[in-house]
Structure 1
Amino acid sequence: MPITNSRVIPLTCSGHTRPVVDLQFSSMDSDNNYLLISACKDGNPMLRDGRTGDWIGTFLGHKGAVWSARLNKKSDRAVTASADFSARVWDTFSGEELYKFEHQHIVRACDFSSDSSRVLTGGLEKKLRIFDLYRPESAPLEATGHEGTIKSVAWDDSRQTMLSAGDDDCIRVWDIRTMQQVQKLDQGTSVTSMVTSADGNYLTSTAGTGAYFWDTRAGYTLANQHTLEHSASTISLHPDQTKFVAGSGTDLWVRIYDFKTGEELEVYKGHHGPIWTVSYSPDGELYATGSEDGTIRLWKTNPTKPYGLWQNC
């Protein structure tokens, strides 16, 4: 039976005024600290201390909902994708907007290349674009082929590929050098999330009630698949790859599953609305959840171990 513990109290990060739809932790720095960025329908992406959830700053400028937010590897830049038909790149130290890339429709997803020189976007235009930050005024590279809204994008520079997924029931793999599709991973229904694991060895995705784990080292082959009790809006794989956290658009509970067996290990209640986004911290000591209720909550992976602001546990 899964552990259900109502006494587990997460840290609640307030500040957003509408549903939180995307979260990402940064890599750890030399002092083992890290950041957390959030995207929200209130149009105000926020940056926080990843360990404590303390607010650092808000990136101001978007005129519509922000659907996606990502940090580069050095955490000195952020990119956001918005319903105001733009993707924007920000300086995370000053909060200054560095670049604004105009689109013809809502931008739903964005990501940095590993060297931070390029930005990948996708959205309701059903088109992928790559913007060169060294030549921001130049026309972007484009790739077409999706038949529905693109809701997730990711770089895989080590394999010279980029990935995209959305409403046309599949993940598409593209060769960055030719901008041509080289692989298609069928999901059977709309893909609600897609991210790469911390070490890059897995591509994780959700579609319907399914949680999928694709081995990137073996040509994006399906390494594991689990059918969950509720529809899966989002999953995140723990850095040690023993378990994963899942959220649902039809359920208010945070659920932890065994990676190998799919057994439900833990169940926690805290949010007052569906959970749209989850992410493990780079050290695996906590995970963040973002909800329709407008809050971000931070949960300890080990409820009995002191960590961050939970020093008295």
Structure 2
Amino acid sequence: MSLNRAVPLTCSGHTRPVVHLSFSRLDKDGTYLLVSSCKDGNPMLREWTGDWIGTFIGHKGAVWCTKLSIDSSKAATGSADFTAKIWDTFSGAVLQSFPHNHIVRSVAFSPSTSHLMTGGQEKKVRIFDLRKPDAEPDFLGADTAHDGTVKSVVWIDDWNTVTAAEDGTVKWWDVRTRFPTSTLTFPAPITSMELSTGTSTLVLTSGQTVAFLPSLPSSKPSHNVTLPYAPSSASLHPILADRFVAGSTTDQWVRIHGMNGEEREVHKGHHGPVHCVEYSPDGEMYASGSEDGTIRLWQTTPGKSYGLWQGANGL
């Protein structure tokens, strides 16, 4: 373990804990966007440098998840105000709002952005057709999708989705039949799950385990790593797939681990527990969100000329 003294860039603006981060796909010019979800109810959109672009105003409760469409023209949010909303990322206007009966914890666009999937404390997974905003949603599963709060929903391709819940189960679904094609169970509640698009790998945290799962059910085995602490979130390097970043709500550190679990780097910068971490799509940096209300951006290779670190000589 090395205590790397890299100094992060700090993105301020939120007034309560930052609970979820998500990057857009890499644009043709090598840039991308970052969206943050916060208990202050005001998700924010930022440039790849961390510079603030705008805030989506309209929720009346904590926002637990924000995702961008593939072309970044739309954002989807899930909130404690019992709604999921679709936003125009250029104007910041609300395009659509979908009521639920309880807190919405996770949202995901279909690859074509024609549908939205939601999950949350109802234990249900809904699919809305964005082309028919007045139509009733479809539900995955006969009644409820899981026996616990749905913590994450991920859309893989046109017909395949994945959900993970506090009941410790991960389910792969065929959207056409609305029934699971495969189920994997963990002994502890699942706290996070994200798709590493560059590697087509699902990265999941449960108890002290970080699991790396195939995005589609296959004979390819999952790879599990047990850490000495319970990670709140983890993200795989999208190009090299030789390391992952993890945060924890038990301390204020951001850690880099090798794929066998060894601790490579430890970073201190936050002043509260770390709720979420995410690698940028080019793998050049990673972001962390904390109880302290800030987002911090860390270079994968400290000292490299990149983004706002250009000419900073080792920031």
Q: Could you say which residue in structure 1 is the equivalent of 2:91? A: 94
Summarize deviations over 1:226-253 as a string: whole Å, max 9, x none: 1111111100000121110000111211
Structure 2 residue 244 is the aligned partner of structure 1 residue 244: yes
Distance in 1 separating the partners of 2:190 and 2:124 = 16
Q: Residue 202 of structure 1 aligns with which residue?
A: 201
Match runs of 1:38-53 below 5 Å: 38-50=36-48, 52-53=49-50
TM-score, structure 1 normalization: 0.96
Aligned residue number for residue 273 of structure 2: 274
Q: CA deviation at 1:55?
A: 0.5
- Segments of structure 1 that go 5 or more residues without pairing to the other structure are none
Aligned to 2:65: 68
Shift of 1:31: 1.3
Superposed, 1:194-233 pairs within 5 Å as 194-199=193-198, 201-216=200-215, 219=218, 221-233=220-232
- Say whether 1:185 aligns with 2:184: yes
Q: Does structure 2 retain, via aligned residues, the 8 Å contact 1:152–1:164? A: yes
What is the match of residue 85 of structure 1? 82
State the distance in 1 between where 2:176 and 2:184 align. Answer: 20
* Partner-residue secondary structure (3-state), 1:4: coil
- Taking only the aligned residue pairs, the percentage that are identical comes to 53
Which residue does 2:293 correspond to in 1?
A: 294
Q: Secondary structure at the match of 2:202?
A: strand
Structure 1 segments of 4 or more deviating over 6 A?
A: none
**Kept in 2: contact 1:192–1:206 (CA 8 A):** yes
Contact 1:202–1:213 under 8 Å retained in 2? yes
C-alpha distance after superposition, 1:106-138 (max 9, x if no partner):
111101011111000001110000011111110
Residue 200 of structure 1: CA displacement? 5.2
Long gaps (5+) in structure 2 = none
CA 1:220–1:130: 2 relative to 1, 3 Å: farther
Change (3 A) 1:150 1:218: closer
Distance 1:114 1:146 in 2: 24
Residues of 2 paired with 1:114 and 1:4: CA distance?
40
CA shift, 1:216, in A, is: 2.8
CA distance in 1 between partners of 2:188 and 2:257 (Å): 22
Matched, 1:34 2:29: no
RMSD over aligned Cα atoms: 1.2
Residue deviations 1:199-235 (CA, integer Å, cap 9, x gap) = 3521110000100001235527543111111111100
